[in-house]
Structure 1
Amino acid sequence: MSGETPAVPKRRDWLDIVAVFVLSVTAVLTAWCGFEASKWGGEMSIAFSQASSARIQAASAEGEARTARQFDLSVWAEWIGATYRGDTDLADYIEARFSTEFAIAFDAWEAGDRVEEGPFSMDEYVPPGTVEAQTLSATADEKYQEALANNQRGDNYSLLTVMFALVLFLTAMSQRELAPWARKVMLGGAVVVAVVGIALLATFPIRL
Structure 2
Amino acid sequence: MEERPAPSHDRKYGVLEISTVVLLSLTAVVTAWCGFEASKWGGEMSIAFSQASSARVQAASAESTAQAARQYDLTIYTEWVLAEREGQDDLVEFIEARFTPEFAAAFDAWNDEGRVANGPFVMDEYVPPGEEEAAELNVRADEKFEEALRNNQRGDDYSLLTVLFALVLFFAALSQNQRAHWRRTVFLTLSGALAIAGIAVLITFPIKI
* Category of TM-score, reference length = shorter chain: over 0.9
Paired letter, 2:134? A
Alpha-carbon separation, structure 2, partners of 1:194 and 1:41? 24
Mapped pair 1:133 → 2:128: no
Deviation at 1:185, TM superposition (A): 1.0
> What corresponds to 1:63 in structure 2?
64
Alpha-carbon separation, structure 1, partners of 2:102 and 2:178? 84
Paired letter, 2:118? E
Uncovered stretches (5+) of structure 2, i.e. residues with no partner: none
Measured against aligned partners, the alpha-carbon deviations of 1:99-151 in whole angstroms (never above 9, x if no partner) come to 00000000000011111000000010000000110010000000000000000
Mapped pair 1:83 → 2:84: yes
Q: How many residues align?
A: 205
Deviation at 1:5, TM superposition (A): 3.2
> What corresponds to 1:193 in structure 2?
194
Alpha-carbon separation, structure 2, partners of 1:136 and 1:151? 22
Paired letter, 1:131? E
Alpha-carbon separation, structure 2, partners of 1:133 and 1:7? 79
Identical positions, percent: 60
Mapped pair 1:35 → 2:42: no
Deviation at 1:179, TM superposition (A): 2.4
> What corresponds to 1:25 in structure 2?
26
Mapped pair 1:8 → 2:13: no
Uncovered stretches (5+) of structure 1, i.e. residues with no partner: none
Mapped pair 1:204 → 2:205: yes
Alpha-carbon separation, structure 2, partners of 1:178 and 1:62? 74
Alpha-carbon separation, structure 1, partners of 2:130 and 2:179? 74
Please give the secondary structure, in 1, of the residue aligned with 2:10: helix
Q: Structure 2 length normalisation: TM-score?
A: 0.96
Runs of 4+ in 1 over 3 A off after TM superposition: none
CA RMSD in angstroms comes to 1.0
